Amino acid sequence: MPIRKSYLDTFKVRNPGKRPITLGDLVNVTVLQGTTLDLLKQPRVTKEKLNQSADLQTALRGGFLIRVAPRPALSKSDNERAATIASELDTLGAGGGGGGSSNVQALDDLTDVVVPSPSDADVLTFDIGSGTWINSPPSGGAGSTGPTGPAGAIGATGADGSDGAIGATGAIGAIGAIGATGADGAIGPTGPAGTGATGTAGPTGADGTPVGNFTLSFTDADLTSGCLLIVQHNLGIQYVGAVTVYDDLDLITAPTAVIAIDDNTIDVDLSSLCPITGTWVVSIGTGGGAGGGSLTLKELGVTGQAAGDLNLTDADWGISKSRIDYFTIIETNGTVTNFDIAFFENDAFTGAVRYGASGLNSTDDWQDDLEWIYIDEDSSDEIHLRITENAGTTGSYDIMVRGIELL
């Protein structure tokens, strides 16, 4: 039969620490830092499971959780409280009336009874301060109630509870492509068995650097709260050769930083790019250079340009995909009060403006070092810039653009 309501139907604990405490064998019940939680009011938590919880006993002994003692009604007489405990013992001992077994084998198995080392003829006394029943020597003849004694030591740990259900296996990440075999190392004196690729026949050389490749697809949901992508590559080398990040347009994008954690793990810092959209890819290899592959710096510089729709290029530019990280526009003559600029991605100057600014003061050299991606849709290796003069006479402009070539 169900356990009837009584003052034992509460088991409150408080988390005095600065981090949450999770009781895994109580169906992952979590007590947040600085809060108090009644464990018996959590789904699927029973008195029997509290008695069996090794995680709860460990947290209480270590001071990570503190038991908040229940306050029974002071109007209950000793006889009434004894009758309630007898009823609880009867119910727990009978396994809820269904004929099943119970882990309550002694008074000390109850969550509100603490009997660490009883002596002959001891009696149970209720301690209001701790909210538990403790053992003490019997008092003499009838007299006034003595002061409440100190709380007894924590009783022995109860029997281990049954293991919880095994959680579902997470999805297996995509297998990266096998990297090309590295070049054979020079033949050296015979050493211990190498783990690198097999060299030409001859004496065994010193261990070579492991060669391999690892590729992982990811989305914004795979990043930590600090925009870190934790990559378990298992290549067996801490300082990998190349870490390349591709965005959802398959363009190489430089991460904020790459941190080598150990031989099998790196952290890719994407904090300057968060949040990301779509599916991105990170590729890791043990050969080649570090820092996201080979990046080529490009510069475009033109002078004496009139306002209007300008298709800009020069011999040093020659790319259609770039990550622009700096440009400057200087009015070299004329008395233009202010002007507007707009970058388009085609020579028809149609569609969305890729970058724009208005009301630029002609007395100041306009420059911007904000990083942004520019793709020439015409594949003409040009930058399409519109300059609109708002007031004053016509001016001339010197323009310089700097960026990194994207493959």
Q: What is the reported pLDDT for 196? A: 53
Tell me whether residue 141 is exposed, middle or buried, using C-beta atoms within 10 angstroms of its C-beta: 0 to 12, 13 to 18, 19 or more.
Answer: exposed
Write down the residue that tokens 């409440």 correspond to. 148
Low-confidence winner among 5-9, 263-267, 293-297, 377-381 (lowest mean pLDDT) = 5-9
The answer to whether the beta carbons of residues 303 and 317 sit under 8 Å apart is no
Mean pLDDT along residues 83-87: 62
* pLDDT of 178 above 90: no
* pLDDT of 70 above 70: no
Q: Which two tokens stand for residue 255?
A: 């991460």
CA distance 63 to 73: 28
Could you report the per-residue pLDDT of 14-48, keeping only the tens digit for each? 999 889 999 988 878 999 998 999 988 888 888 88
Q: Which residues on neighbouring strands pair with residue 198, listed in sequence order?
A: none
Q: What is the reported pLDDT for 350? A: 93
Element (H, E) at 403: strand 396-405
Q: What is the reported pLDDT for 30? A: 92
Identify the CA nearest to 285 among candidates 175, 366, 365, 179: 179
Low-confidence winner among 25-39, 82-96, 253-267 (lowest mean pLDDT) = 82-96
The answer to whether the beta carbons of residues 239 and 199 sit under 8 Å apart is no
Instruction: Output 300 or 167, whichever has higher pLDDT.
Output: 300
The answer to whether the beta carbons of residues 37 and 88 sit under 8 Å apart is no
Write down the residue that tokens 């033109």 correspond to. 302
* pLDDT of 87 above 70: no
User: How many distinct helices (H) and strands (E) make up the chain?
Assistant: 3, 23
Q: What is the reported pLDDT for 7? A: 44
The answer to whether the beta carbons of residues 283 and 215 sit under 8 Å apart is yes
The answer to whether the beta carbons of residues 2 and 106 sit under 8 Å apart is no
CA angle 377, 341, 395 (to 5 degrees): 120
Write down the residue that tokens 């790319």 correspond to. 319
Identify the CA nearest to 323 among candidates 356, 354, 283, 290: 354
Low-confidence winner among 130-134, 142-146, 322-326, 396-400 (lowest mean pLDDT) = 142-146
Q: What is the reported pLDDT for 4? A: 41
Mean pLDDT along residues 332-341: 79
* pLDDT of 207 above 70: no
CA distance 371 to 369: 6
Q: What is the reported pLDDT for 50? A: 85
pLDDT band at 100 (very low <50, low <70, confident <90, very high): very low
Query: Which of 73-82, 241-250, 300-309 is modeled with the greatest confidence?
Result: 300-309
* pLDDT of 387 above 60: yes
Q: What is the reported pLDDT for 74? A: 45
